[in-house]
Amino acid sequence: DAMVIQNPRYQVTQFGKPVTLSCSQTLNHNVMYWYQQKSSQAPKLLFHYYDKDFNNEADTPDNFQSRRPNTSFCFLDIRSPGLGDAAMYLCATSRASGYSYEQYFGPGTRLTVT
């Protein structure tokens, strides 16, 4: 089945220790998104790629970076995680960035910062 896969599902890191979360997709979608979702809140868009074009949200901290080496993979790098970065990180894809296209989400990675 075509899908969005995120690894790992659970990640524990230490305060200030860099961490990378990964996302892969078999849907061959142009667009990949990264969201941060804190407890009992709606997902918050961090950035997205349209093919290789990177689009950062204005309020995304510099601590968060992303890489998309090819169509299938996208990575979220947190350079120096703080306690406030503990959250669920969701990857999503869509066929194109037109606003009619639904986004398909992966199962998420729950990040704990100790």
77 interacts with other proteins by CB under 8 A: no
Q: Which is nearer to other proteins, 86 or 88 (CB)?
A: 88
CB 23 within 8 A of CB 74: yes
Residue 106 found at the interface with other proteins (CB under 8 A): yes
Say whether 39 sits in a helix, a strand or coil.
coil
7: contact with other proteins by CB under 8 A: no
Residue 45, interface with other proteins (CB under 8 A)?
A: yes
CA distance 55 to 49: 6
Answer for the pair 14, 113: CB distance below 8 angstroms, yes or no. yes
Binding footprint of other proteins on the chain (CB under 8 A): 31, 40-43, 45, 50, 53, 55, 88, 90, 92, 94, 96-108, 110
